[in-house]
Amino acid sequence: MATSQDRAQTWSAPGRVNLVGDHTDYNAGFALPFALPQRTTVVARPRTDGRITARSGDLPEVGFATSTTPGEVTGWGAYVAGVAWVLGEHLGHPLDGADLEISSTVPRGGGLSSSHSLECAVALALLGLAGEEVPVEELALLVQRAENTYVGAPTGLLDQTAILRSRAGHLSFFDARDLTVEPVPCDLEAVGLTLLVIDPHAPHTLVDGAYASRREACERAARELGVDSLREVDDVGAALAALADDETRRRARHVLTENQRVLDCVDLARRGDLAAMGPLMTASHASMRDDFENSVPDVDRVVEAATRAGALGARMTGGGFGGAVVALVPRAAVEPVREAVAAAATAAGSPAPDVLEVTPSRGAGRD
């Protein structure tokens, strides 16, 4: 006889890093993320009483009915409950129930999408137990809805797309208007390079007002320019000249120039000239720091120290207002960069950053 142990399923989903292209997704623009080797793993066992329980390390256990509605579960459990809610809506009936054991190696609070990797792993596990399949493009949209409506963060589609649709050894060229992903080969080892993720432990949250206010500024710019989204702008110079308010113009300039940097990086990567992406990454950071104003001093310090110590390029990755830096580094400069970012933190009286060497890894799936 099958026991619930036999029917347990294990699914996992990676964290993500965005190499370039931030705050472009909700402007129907371009991004170039990849999946991290660090993953969230969910072991799911079926229940039939319409309840879901979730446990994860030292976090408080959560339990709720699968007929949950937005607002009911808060805290970390909202990421799990939001997914159960949206899947119930999608299937047209609440799920049967599940016990979920969650573990994760994705650093939390570093802007590496630990919460989206949790949501995606839970979504796949719950669908797996229900014997249902949803195409990844659609699943990304469902998880986004859970995040927007249940968790209450007005985020775009970048993270779910990177997590669900990335391939090992590739960057994912994402077009957020057409919802296409082109895998672009990225063999760093072959050209003597590596990618570092440097987390200065600068607190990062997207649920507060800063992310939403940046999104509003972009939407205002599009409205003033008479286009549906900033992606529809053809003549960047003319569009920027037409925006009267300085702050709105700078927010739009970040998005418009960032789209071009993504396209340029994709061209370089397709040609195998990965090193030449470095200066574009650093330019992207300057654009976030000066125009989008979503960086913080701890993060700027890492970017400066890393580039001075030999990184070809470095930038904050993800939503910002804290979070981690991604740096493109020649192998010979890895140790100097590690030392430089640690020394810069000590001089500023900040804790030493964590430095991870990462490679583009596989997307979410069954283990």
Catalytic residues: 159
Task: Please identify, using beta-carbon distances, which residue of 25 and 99 lies nearer to ligand GLA.
Answer: 25
Task: Please identify, using beta-carbon distances, which residue of 46 and 319 lies nearer to ligand GLA.
Answer: 319
CA-CA distance, 351 to 201, in Å (whole number)? 8
Task: Please identify, using beta-carbon distances, which residue of 19 and 344 lies nearer to ligand GLA.
Answer: 19
Task: Please identify, using beta-carbon distances, which residue of 85 and 321 lies nearer to ligand GLA.
Answer: 321
In the chain, the amino acid numbered 330 is: P
CB 28 within 8 A of CB 231: yes
Token pair recorded at residue 345: 């933190």
Q: How far is the CB of 33 from ligand GLA (least distance, A)?
A: 9
CA-CA distance, 68 to 151, in Å (whole number)? 13
CA-CA distance, 78 to 62, in Å (whole number)? 9
Please report how the helices 77-91 and 114-130 are oriented relative to each other, as an axis angle in degrees rounded to 10.
40
Q: How far is the CB of 123 from ligand GLA (least distance, A)?
A: 15
CB 76 within 8 A of CB 62: yes
Task: Please identify, using beta-carbon distances, which residue of 119 and 300 lies nearer to ligand GLA.
Answer: 119
Q: How far is the CB of 49 from ligand GLA (least distance, A)?
A: 33
Which residues are CB-neighbours of 300 under 8 A, at least 6 positions away?
285, 289
CB 172 within 8 A of CB 159: no
Angle at 290 between CA 254 and CA 297, to 5 degrees: 130
Would strands 51-56 and 98-104 be described as parallel, antiparallel, or unpaired? parallel
Task: Please identify, using beta-carbon distances, which residue of 26 and 85 lies nearer to ligand GLA.
Answer: 26
**Running DSSP on this structure, what letter comes out for residue 350?**
P
Q: How far is the CB of 317 from ligand GLA (least distance, A)?
A: 8
Q: How far is the CB of 178 from ligand GLA (least distance, A)?
A: 17
Task: Please identify, using beta-carbon distances, which residue of 65 and 283 lies nearer to ligand GLA.
Answer: 283
The residue ranges that bind ligand GLA (CB under 6 A) are 18, 22-23, 25-26, 155-156, 158-159, 206, 318-319
Assign 3-class secondary structure to 215-264: HHHHHHHHHHHCCCCHHHCCCHHHHHHHCCCHHHHHHHHHHHHHHHHHHH
Count CB-CB contacts under 10 A for residue 236.
15
Judged by DSSP in three states, 143 sits in: helix
Q: How far is the CB of 189 from ligand GLA (least distance, A)?
A: 27
Q: How far is the CB of 51 from ligand GLA (least distance, A)?
A: 29
Count CB-CB contacts under 10 A for residue 137.
15
Instruction: Return the bridge partners of 99, or none.
Output: 45, 53
Assign 3-class secondary structure to 26-71: HHCCEECEEEEEEEEEEEEEECCCCEEEEEECCCCCEEEECCCCCC
